[in-house]
Amino acid sequence: MDPKPAQNIQDTFLNTVRKDKSPITIYLVSGVKLTGKIRSFDKYSVLLENNAQEQLIFKHAISTVVSGRPMGYEARSSDARPAPVSQEAVAVTGAAAR
């Protein structure tokens, strides 16, 4: 059993761009494009700062987050490993291959 819970990819990405103060672009599901730097985030929202103005964005409204710099996620993440494959997925794939 893992003594330390694995951090999900969303939190890892957001925390990295927050700590690096990287410029990001957030696209909302409505098509609106927002740019700035992440000040903070939690389970439900992201606080974005642009030109000393802060915007609280609810995650359910976000479509895509794009970093202005290369992330190198695999190299930065200590938990970088492939997601486990369920037996159900293996059974479906195996049945389709026959």
What CATH number is associated with residue 48? 2.30.30.100
Asked if the structure places residue 7 within a domain, the reply is yes
Asked if the structure places residue 77 within a domain, the reply is no
Asked if the structure places residue 94 within a domain, the reply is no
C-alpha angle 76-40-38 in degrees, rounded to nearest 5 = 70
Residue 96: pLDDT band (50, 70, 90) is very low
pLDDT > 90? residue 57 = yes
Q: Are 17 and 38 in contact (CB under 8 A)?
A: yes
Q: What is the CA radius of gyration of the chain?
A: 17
pLDDT > 60? residue 83 = no
Asked if the structure places residue 64 within a domain, the reply is yes
pTM equals 0.67
pLDDT > 50? residue 90 = no
- The number of domains in the chain is 1
Higher pLDDT, 44 or 86: 44
DSSP string, 47-69: EEEETTEEEEEEGGGEEEEEESS
Q: What are phi and psi of 61, to 5 degrees?
A: -95, -5
Asked if the structure places residue 98 within a domain, the reply is no
Asked if the structure places residue 32 within a domain, the reply is yes
Average pLDDT rounded to a whole number, residues 32-39: 98
